[in-house]
Amino acid sequence: MAIVLSGKEFDNEVLESEGVVLVDFFAEWCNPCKMLAPILDEVAADMEGKAKIFKVDVDEAGELADRYDITTIPHLIIFKDGEVVEEIGGFHPKESLIEKLEEYCK
């Protein structure tokens, strides 16, 4: 299951983490975000031990949305060893997300 991070937890869990981390910037009122949520839970289960999946509510952690210039949601950012390696805007199917994550897990 994807874990929702606060702004304080973000640096610890994402920027100081080794390996691959996917962060979903979302909002509770966003319908495409709601459609993506169960898919990210499945991705988290399938990628357990390979990649971590987190969520950031842009309404609760606006400073993070500003830091990463998030202007539309859902917006996914893949980090590897604390560095941004790819950004993905909009809704994407499970297979596509797993394929992208596996590229960085090598």
Give me the count of residues in the chain.
106
Options 30, 40, 64, 98, the catalytic residue: 30
Residue 79 identity = F
Phi/psi-derived region of residue 80, left when phi > 0, alpha when psi is between -120 and 50, beta in every other case: beta
Options 20, 33, 51, 64, the catalytic residue: 33
Tally: H helices and E strands in the chain: 4, 5
Burial class (CB in 10 A: 0-12, 13-18, 19+), 45: exposed
Residue 105 annotated among the catalytic residues of the structure: no
Q: Which residues are catalytic?
A: 30, 33
